[in-house]
């Protein structure tokens, strides 16, 4: 995967992952089951470390915090039972729960603002020359229908089922991501609907699996491909764009050429 470095900013941080786990498993955020969360968070962390171990510091720190909270919860309680208010204040989960509640409010507000902006754009469409500047920030990209963490979860299940070839030394996959993008894009266009797991059928090395996964992200984030999942933990389906989108620069060039040829 030479020449390519994934920007994990698109994963938005450990609080985003925690909130995803709470929502997916329908947990009560005010009574967080730490033991369950620690196990599931560690599974996601193992996948993120395969993608880029140098950029997972915040996730590792959160995993350590969760492990510490878990250990404090299993410590033997004192003989005297504290008052209810004191018990709440001494709950080792309290600070994390407060952060999660604040982050959830932030996300809900962001979604509400986005929906309001979409509604206003439909009500008052922009003029052709009144378009916002393109944003290249990866964190601003959205993957429709399927959440990013759903894809990471699906990748974890792929890794669990694979039997990897044993080698005397670690072998990196030198295939450029652009090659995987072209191969997968062509297959999805031809078949119209391809199972996420089927894209890894021929991969037996972790580095190749990660390369394929990053190519899928690239297709979804920047090439208008789509992903759908009927229920949690079920198969994710990758589909081509609804229509081929002409890049703005190409469209502008076409318009300019047409104008210059008019009599």
Q: How far apart (Å, rounded) are the C-alpha atoms in residues 243 and 113?
A: 27
Which residues have CB under 8 Å from 195's CB, separation 6+?
235, 236, 237, 238
Same domain, residue pair 200 and 122: no
Same domain, residue pair 159 and 91: no
Contact by Cβ (8 Å): 240, 189: yes
What is the per-residue pLDDT for 10? 54
Same domain, residue pair 216 and 147: yes
Give the range with max mean pLDDT: 32-36, 80-84, 167-171: 32-36
Same domain, residue pair 68 and 125: yes
Same domain, residue pair 154 and 41: no
State pLDDT tens for residues 105-134.
Answer: 888 887 788 777 767 766 655 544 444 444
What is the per-residue pLDDT for 208? 86
Q: How far apart (Å, rounded) are the C-alpha atoms in residues 242 and 225?
A: 8
Burial track 34-73 (b if 16+ CB lie within 10 A, e otherwise): beebbebbebbbebbebbeeebbeebeebbeebeebbeee
Q: Give the end of a domain, one of 139, 154, 169.
A: 139
- In a domain, residue 207? The reply is yes
pLDDT above 80: residue 41? yes
In order of 17, 24, 73, 95, the CA distances from 21 in angstroms are 6, 5, 20, 18
What is the per-residue pLDDT for 250? 43
Q: How far apart (Å, rounded) are the C-alpha atoms in residues 96 and 20?
A: 15
Total domains present in the chain: 2
What is the per-residue pLDDT for 180? 94
Question: Average of pLDDT values for 239-254?
Answer: 59
Q: Among candidates 91, 61, 62, which has minimal Cα distance to 75?
A: 91
- In a domain, residue 261? The reply is no
Same domain, residue pair 131 and 12: yes
Domain that includes residue 168, residue range: 142-255
């Amino acid at each position: 995967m030479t020449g390519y470095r994934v920007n994990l900013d698109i994963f938005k941080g450990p609080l985003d992952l925690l909130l995803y786990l709470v929502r997916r498993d329908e947990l009560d955020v005010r009574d967080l089951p730490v033991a369950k969360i620690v196990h599931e968070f560690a599974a996601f962390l193992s996948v993120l470390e395969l993608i880029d171990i140098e950029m997972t510091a915040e996730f590792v720190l959160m995993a350590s915090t969760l492990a510490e909270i878990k250990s404090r919860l299993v410590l033997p309680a004192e003989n005297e039972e504290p008052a209810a208010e004191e018990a709440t204040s001494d709950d080792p989960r309290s600070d994390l729960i407060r952060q999660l509640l604040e982050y959830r409010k932030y996300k809900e507000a962001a979604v509400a603002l986005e929906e309001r902006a979409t509604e206003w754009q439909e009500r008052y469409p922009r003029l052709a020359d009144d378009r916002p500047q393109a944003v290249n920030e990866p964190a601003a990209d959205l993957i429709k229908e399927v959440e990013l963490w759903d894809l990471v979860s699906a990748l974890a299940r792929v890794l669990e089922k694979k039997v990897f070839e044993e080698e005397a030394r670690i072998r990196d996959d030198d295939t450029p991501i652009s090659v995987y993008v072209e191969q997968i894009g062509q297959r999805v266009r031809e078949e119209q609907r391809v199972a996420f797991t089927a894209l890894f059928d021929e991969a037996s090395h972790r580095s190749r699996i990660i390369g394929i996964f990053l190519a899928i992200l690239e297709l979804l984030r920047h090439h208008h491909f789509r992903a759908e999942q009927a229920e949690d933990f079920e198969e994710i389906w990758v589909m081509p764009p609804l229509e081929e989108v002409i890049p703005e620069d190409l469209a502008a060039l076409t318009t300019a050429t047409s104008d210059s040829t008019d009599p």
